[in-house]
C-alpha cells in the first residue's frame, strides 16, 4: 500500500509488526480472525487522509509478528499487554481511538475494561462486549447449542484442525473463511471442513480480489494457523500438552515416567477463569457498535435481544449508538469500506 510505513516494535517480550500512515490523533486498528493489519487497508487510507495517524499491528501469532509456541501465551492479558506496550511506545502521553473487529473487537473491549485511561473512544464491529457468565464456561455453552462440529469447539483440540487446514491448503482455507456470508454458525465437520471438498470452486465477492487473497495466503503460509487458533484455546479449556509425545491431556495430569523429559503447556480455564475479578464491571468508554444483519455473530442465541433490549447498554453505559447494516456479512469493514470509514470518522471527529 502506498505511503504505509512498516516497522517492528518490541513489546511484551515479542517483536510486533506495525503498519502506519498519517499524522494526527492515533487510531489503533485491531484485526480479528483470520486477518492481518492488511484487513484495515481501506480504513488506513481513508482515515489517514482525514487527519489521523492510523496504526494497525499484526497481533501476536499473526503475519510478521512473533508467534510464541506455548498455547498459554495467548490469553487476553497477553494480547492487551502487547497493545498497551505498543501505545506506550508510539503514543506515550496520548489517549487513542480504538477500532476492533471480531477478535479485535473482543480485545478492544478488554483494553477499555482494563485500561480506560488509554482509550478516548472505541468503535467495534461484529462482536459486542458481553459480560462473563460465572455459571458457564463459553465452550460448554457453544457445544451445548451447536455441537462438537462448531468451529470454536473443533479449535480446542491441539493440532487437529491445523492438520486439516494443511491438507486443504491455505488458499482454500482463506477463501472459505473470508467468503463466509450466511447467518448460520460456522461448522467444521471432521474430514470435511466448511462442508465442501477441497476441489470445490470458491467464487470471490466483488469486494475481495485474488491479489488481496494472495496477500493473506502468503502470510499464513509463513506463520501457520496454530498461533491464531490458540486465541480460541484460551477461552476456557484446561489443557496439558506433551509436545514431544503429541499427547494432549484434558483436565488431569499423569506423570508417565520418572525419567521422562517433559515439555509441558498448561492452559487452565484461561480467560474465563482469569476474568473473574472483572465480573460485574462495566466498560466506561464512549463507544459505537456496527454489525451486519447477515453476520453469523448477530444470530448467536440471544445476541439480538442482548444488543437491542438494553443488555448491551447496561454493560457499556457510554454506548452511543448501534448500527445494523442491511445485507452485510461478517467482514463488514472490507465489504462496505466507504460506509464504515464514514461512520468511524463521524464518531471520532466529535472527540477531536
Q: Are 307 and 322 in contact (CB under 8 A)?
A: yes
Residues in the chain, how many? 352
Q: Among all residues, which ones are annotated catalytic?
A: 102, 232, 330
Q: Which pLDDT score is estimated for 26?
A: 98
| Beta-carbon contacts of residue 293 (< 8 Å; ≥ 6 apart) | 324, 325, 326, 327, 328
| Beta-carbon contacts of residue 226 (< 8 Å; ≥ 6 apart) | 61, 67, 159, 162
Q: Which pLDDT score is estimated for 130?
A: 95
Q: Whole-model pTM?
A: 0.91
Which pLDDT tens digit goes with each residue over 163-185? Answer: 999 999 999 999 999 999 999 99
> What does DSSP say about strands 96-101 and 119-125: parallel, antiparallel, or unpaired?
parallel
- In 201-275, the DSSP E strands lie at 238-242, 247-250, 265-268
Q: Residue 340, SS3?
A: helix
Q: Which pLDDT score is estimated for 194?
A: 86
**Dihedrals phi, psi of 192, to nearest 5 degrees:** -150, 65
Q: Residue 151, SS3?
A: helix
What residues of the chain score a pLDDT lower than 70?
A: 237-269
Q: Which pLDDT score is estimated for 171?
A: 96
Cα–Cα nearest to 271, from 229, 231, 308? 231
Question: In degrees to the nearest 10, what's the CA dihedral of 215, 13, 74, 172?
Answer: 20
| Most distant pair of Cα atoms in the chain: their distance | 64
What the block records as the C-alpha cell of 233 is 484455546
Amino acid at each position: 500500500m502506498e505511503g504505509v510505513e512498516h516497522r517492528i516494535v518490541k513489546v511484551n517480550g515479542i517483536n510486533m509488526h506495525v503498519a502506519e500512515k498519517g499524522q494526527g490523533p492515533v487510531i489503533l486498528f485491531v484485526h480479528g480472525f483470520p486477518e492481518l493489519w492488511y484487513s484495515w487497508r481501506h480504513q488506513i487510507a481513508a482515515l489517514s487522509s482525514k487527519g489521523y495517524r492510523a496504526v494497525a499491528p499484526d497481533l501476536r501469532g499473526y503475519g510478521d509478528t512473533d508467534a510464541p509456541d506455548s498455547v498459554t501465551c495467548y490469553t487476553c492479558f497477553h494480547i492487551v499487554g502487547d497493545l498497551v506496550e505498543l501505545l506506550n511506545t508510539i503514543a506515550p502521553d496520548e489517549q487513542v481511538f480504538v477500532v476492533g473487529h471480531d477478535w479485535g473487537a473482543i480485545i478492544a473491549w478488554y483494553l477499555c475494561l482494563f485500561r480506560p485511561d488509554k482509550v478516548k473512544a472505541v468503535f467495534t464491529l461484529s462482536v459486542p462486549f458481553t459480560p462473563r457468565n460465572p455459571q458457564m464456561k463459553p465452550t460448554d455453552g457453544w457445544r451445548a447449542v451447536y455441537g462438537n462440529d462448531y468451529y470454536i469447539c473443533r479449535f480446542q483440540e491441539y493440532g487437529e484442525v491445523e492438520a486439516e487446514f494443511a491438507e486443504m491448503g491455505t488458499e482454500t482455507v482463506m477463501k472459505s473463511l473470508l467468503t463466509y456470508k450466511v447467518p448460520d454458525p460456522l461448522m467444521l465437520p471432521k474430514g470435511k471442513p466448511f462442508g465442501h471438498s477441497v476441489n470445490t470452486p470458491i467464487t470471490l465477492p466483488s469486494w475481495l480480489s485474488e491479489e488481496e487473497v494472495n496477500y493473506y495466503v502468503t502470510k499464513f503460509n509463513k506463520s501457520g494457523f496454530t498461533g491464531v487458533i490458540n486465541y480460541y484455546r484460551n477461552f476456557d479449556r484446561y489443557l496439558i500438552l506433551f509436545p514431544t509425545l503429541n499427547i494432549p491431556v484434558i483436565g488431569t495430569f499423569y506423570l508417565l515416567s520418572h525419567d521422562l523429559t517433559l515439555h509441558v503447556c498448561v492452559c487452565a480455564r484461561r480467560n474465563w477463569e482469569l476474568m473473574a475479578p472483572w465480573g460485574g464491571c462495566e466498560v466506561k468508554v464512549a463507544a459505537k457498535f456496527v454489525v451486519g444483519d447477515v453476520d453469523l455473530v448477530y444470530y448467536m442465541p440471544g445476541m439480538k435481544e442482548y444488543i437491542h433490549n438494553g443488555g448491551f447498554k447496561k454493560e457499556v453505559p457510554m454506548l452511543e449508538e448501534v448500527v445494523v447494516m442491511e445485507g452485510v456479512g461478517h467482514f463488514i469493514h472490507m465489504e462496505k469500506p466507504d460506509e464504515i470509514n464514514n461512520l468511524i470518522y463521524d464518531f471520532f471527529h466529535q472527540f477531536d
